[in-house]
Amino acid sequence: MSMDGAAAPRWTMLTIGSARLALPAASVLGVLALEHLDRAAPAEGTVGRLVVQGRDCPAYALDEELAATGQLAPQRRACVLVGDAGAVFALVCDEVHMLQPKSARVHELPAALRHGASPVRQLLFAGETMVPIASVATLAQHLGVPAVDSLARLGA
C-alpha cells in the first residue's frame, strides 16, 4: 500500500488479549519485537526492560483491565515504546495497528463512567469500533512508572 501523500497515523491501537487501547501516535517512540525485551531480573510489576539509547525502560504487560500483571502471556508479540516529557516505558501487546485521522472521532469519557484508577479519559470511534484512549501521562501514573527525560524516536 502506498503512503504517498497520505497523512501520518494519528492513533496507535494496541490489542491486549480481547482488549484494545489507543494511544496518540506521536507518543509512540518505536515498536520492537518481543525478542528485544530483557527479561532477566524484572523490576516489580514489570516483565523486563528495554535498553534504549543507553537507558533502561521498564516494560509492562497489562491485563484486559489495563492492570500490570508482571506476567508475560504467550500471545504477546510486540513491545511498544512510548514516551513523553515525563516518562518512557514499554507496553507488551499482541498486535499494533495505526489508525488514520479521517477514520477516527474522539469523545470525552463522561465523568459518571470514569473510574478513578483508570488511565482512560477518552473514547476513539473508528468505523464500528470503539477503543478507549489513554495518554502516556495517565498510563505512567496508573502503572507507577518512574519519571525520566524523554527519548528520541527510534530510528530518528
Average pLDDT of the segment spanning 133-143: 92
Residues 92, 36: contact at Cβ < 8 Å? no
With H, G, I as helix, E, B as strand and everything else as coil, classify residue 137. helix
Task: Kindly report, residue by residue over 78-132, the tens digit of the pLDDT.
Answer: 999 999 878 899 999 999 998 876 767 889 988 888 877 789 989 988 778 889 9
What pLDDT does residue 54 have?
84
| 120 CB-near residues (< 8 Å, 6+ apart) | 66, 109, 114, 132, 133, 134, 138
Task: Kindly report, residue by residue over 29-75, the tens digit of the pLDDT.
Answer: 999 999 999 999 899 999 999 988 888 899 999 998 899 999 999 99
DSSP secondary structure, 39-101, as one string: -SSPPTT-SEEEEETTEEEEEEEB-TTS-B-SS--TT--EEEEEE-SS-EEEEEESEEEEE-G
Q: Is the pLDDT of residue 149 over 90?
A: no
Q: Which residue has the higher pLDDT, 87 or 148?
A: 87
What pLDDT does residue 2 have?
33
Judge whether 151 lies within some domain: no
Judge whether 150 lies within some domain: no
Judge whether 4 lies within some domain: no
Q: Is the pLDDT of residue 153 over 50?
A: yes
Q: Which of 134, 41, 149 is nearest to 91 (CA)?
A: 134
Which range of residues forms the domain containing residue 27? 11-143
What pLDDT does residue 122 have?
92
What pLDDT does residue 116 have?
76
Residues 92, 78: contact at Cβ < 8 Å? yes
Judge whether 132 lies within some domain: yes
pLDDT band with cut points at 50, 70 and 90 for residue 6: low
Judge whether 115 lies within some domain: yes
How many domains in the chain? 1
Judge whether 2 lies within some domain: no
What pLDDT does residue 101 have?
60
Cα–Cα distance, 100 to 98 (Å, whole number): 7
Q: Considering the chain, what is the average pLDDT of its residues? A: 85
Q: Is the pLDDT of residue 147 over 90?
A: no
Judge whether 71 lies within some domain: yes
